[in-house]
Amino acid sequence: MCLPTHLTEVKDAIRYSPMRTYKYQIREHPQNKRLGNLLDDLCDVHNHFLKLENRYYRRYGKYAGRFRLQPHLTKLLQRTKKHWAWIPRDTLDAVIIRLHVAWERFFNTPGTGKPKFKRKGRYRSAKFQTGYKLQDGRVRLSFKSWDESSQHLKFDKRWFSFHHHRDWHGTVRYIQILRDSVGTFWLYVVTDDTSKEVLPATGESVGADNVIQGMDLVYSQTKSGMKDAFLTLNTGEKIQSPQFLKQSLNELRNLNKAVSRKVKGSNTWWRAVRQLARLYRKVNNQRKDFHWKLADTLCKRFDTIVLETLNLEGMKRLWGRKVSDLAFYQFVEILKYKCQKHKRLLKQVGQWTTTSKPCSNCGHKNENLTLSDRQWTCPRCGSHHDRDVNAAINILRAAWGPVVETM
């Protein structure tokens, strides 16, 4: 499946440079323990250099940066940290570069915290720019091992099989190995493919209003059987949200109870933790599948798609789990990617644009409109409106105003 991932480096590669990422599951095998050992050693590298960066920050009020830490790494590999030498050097450098980017973000982006130490098992990914080979559903990684006969490190090449369900296009720039919370290993192949799948023009435009604006009413009406729409289009269509997290709440509660009843750290505790993580992964995959299919449908039907900018962080503080279950930010990111791929135009109107109160027929602003009013009649022209459809029409009209953000 070709998609932008939650990994920072892969996501930044997709957003800021012409690259495409392909994701494959590495098959279960006892040899995968070597990948786990690799990630655990990279966790030690991360924590060691983060400790150095914190000490430098306390003394000088700034970070040392990759160009000071990489020569220091070379000395460590020759002296006190010889056991790190079995890891490819570019993979070790990628850890330092990741720390460098995190400290840059801390100093340059307001509200961003300092990088944190990681426990073993929490360090998720390793990047390989060299020392690998891809061939027939297998990836060969080059490790280093100690040879007793020659008393030197030598390359130890190991093959790992993965589910090669589709081919990638373009030249491979680098690969990444990811371990998720369930313990499954994934292979990310990043290529320089810039091809576009241009869809035929339809000449249609659409404005879409999101259900989150009326969230407090949705809560009160859900008990009476109302299904809330994920998106309301200006055509009058209402796309329902499956709410996968809500569907799995009972099972999640039972699994959380099972985890709390186990002795922490025991084999049965780890088994229960993995069952819980597996269910969360299933919910996430279901939601993401719904978002991808919806974005693909919108791109096939419309040339221009207009959405409203929402303050999702503020809405999470008010309505919590409901907003997280809808995952509107994730949908917008996927829609951006799809529009870029199919050469569609995506616009977002400003957050403070009034869309619900103005009449889409005559422009009269209904100041007395409240969130509980889902249907209303314009006192000036007598037009009867569905609140969400009226807002979607106004969003589409506002798309060409001065408060629009073009993606």
In tens, the pLDDT along 120-176 reads: 889 999 999 988 999 989 999 988 777 778 777 777 889 999 999 999 999 999 999
**398: nearest Cα among 209, 234, 207:** 207
- Assess whether pLDDT exceeds 80 at residue 327: yes
pTM of the model: 0.83
Domain ranges of the chain: 8-191, 205-243+291-406
In tens, the pLDDT along 331-341 reads: 999 999 999 99
Q: How far is CA 278 from CA 163, 250, 285, 369, in A?
A: 19, 15, 10, 44
The predicted structure's pLDDT at residue 211: 64
Burial zone of 95 (CB within 10 Å; 0-12 exposed, 13-18 middle, 19+ buried): buried
The percent of residues above 70 in pLDDT, for the chain, comes to: 89
**212: nearest Cα among 310, 290, 71:** 310
The predicted structure's pLDDT at residue 220: 37
pLDDT band at 214 (very low <50, low <70, confident <90, very high): very low
pLDDT band at 313 (very low <50, low <70, confident <90, very high): confident
What is the rounded CA–CA span in Å between residue 21 and residue 370? 45
Count Cβ atoms below 10 Å from residue 283 Cβ, excluding itself.
18
21's CB contacts (< 8 A; 6+ apart) are 2, 3, 4, 5, 10, 13, 14, 188, 189, 190, 191
Take residue 126 and report the two structure tokens written for it: 């390793």
pLDDT band at 111 (very low <50, low <70, confident <90, very high): confident
What is the rounded CA–CA span in Å between residue 322 and residue 125? 30
What is the rounded CA–CA span in Å between residue 351 and residue 403? 9
